[in-house]
Amino acid sequence: MPQFMTSTEAAVPQSDAKTPGFKRFKLGDFEITTLLDGLRPGDGPHPTFGANQKQETVAELMKANFLPETKFVNGFAPVLVNTGSELILFDTGFGDAGRENGLGQLEANMKAAGYTPDQVTIVVITHMHGDHIGGLMNGQTPGFANARYVAGQIEYDHWTDPARTGTPAENGAKGVSAKVKPLAEKTTFIKAGDSVVSGITSEAAYGHTPGHMIFHIESAGKHLVLTADTANHYVASLQRPEWEIAFDTDKTMGAATRKKVFDMTATDRVPFIGYHMPFPAVGYAEKQDIGYRFVPATYQFDV
Ligand SMILES: [Zn+2]
């Protein structure tokens, strides 16, 4: 044994180094990178998920899926698409507001993935909840210095309507006013069906919010769907799409949209990235008797 090492010192300290916060793969000629903004442990999933169900019913489904019955970890996964001519970021995480809770890690993980925020040329916002728009501004400074922006007109109009004042949506409206409004002049406000660039097209997926949109990404015959917040828990929202979700503005429409979107990805066998799916947030929906099963992607993109 070398002189400097005693038997008690030889024990290996446990490493607290973090799991890598990005996953990269190719889709046709596009390069896709999912980036982890952070993980947020807490109580749940009931009553946030399955608010119209008994606690025991939700707990039973969690148990059947080898998940804790009263604890839940939510994840947040913005997506970077390099088309070869544009570097497009979909959603921006919590930004500076999340850092004290270990969130707001998008910038750090983007750098770990080989990019810097000033290289982003377009930022697309799927909808305007705080966990998606928080990184747009660092205080008074844009988080992505050289980007232009794309967001839904319906979504923007909803959150900037003075009618939100004095309602439960007032906080969200304040967030939009701080994070999105300062960038409005550099923003192209689109309607569902409009394209961001060639190969990237929006589709209405209303319910979670009034203007929530998903995005089809297609390159060289390959297809993937960014489902954003259509489903927010990989078991509760996918296996039981009709269970109400507290985060959905219109709960009935949210459920109908979940069924429509995942019926499409399941039938067409198209992979999807969901913002709140277990990181790296890429997988498939398999149709079941009721609902869908989330099948995480493994090496499908590597062959
Ligand atoms: Zn979200």
Single-letter amino acid code for the residue at 213 = M
Closest C-alpha among 73, 101, 77 to residue 91: 77
Q: How far is the CA of 267 from the centre of ligand 1 (A)?
A: 25
Centroid of ligand 1 to alpha carbon of 219 (angstroms): 26
Ligand 1 mean position to 299 CA, how many Å?
27
Pairing of strands 222-228, 213-219: antiparallel
Which DSSP state fits 18?
P
The CA 16 to ligand 1 mean position distance, Å, reads 27
Q: How far is the CA of 74 from the centre of ligand 1 (A)?
A: 9
Q: How far is the CA of 105 from the centre of ligand 1 (A)?
A: 15
- Residue whose pair of structure tokens reads 């909808």 in the numeric block: 127
Beta strands in 126-179 (DSSP E): 137-138, 141-142, 148-152
The confidence score (pLDDT) of residue 168 equals 92
Number of CB atoms found within 10 A of residue 70's CB: 12
Q: In degrees to the nearest 10, what's the CA dihedral of 240, 232, 173, 100?
A: 140
Q: Is the peptide bond before 78 cis (omega within 30 degrees of 0)?
A: no
**pLDDT at res. 98:** 84
Residue 91 Cα to ligand 1 middle (Å): 9
User: In the chain, which stretches have pLDDT less than 70?
Assistant: 1-8
pLDDT at 18: 79
Q: How many angstroms is it from 2 CA to the middle of ligand 1?
A: 53
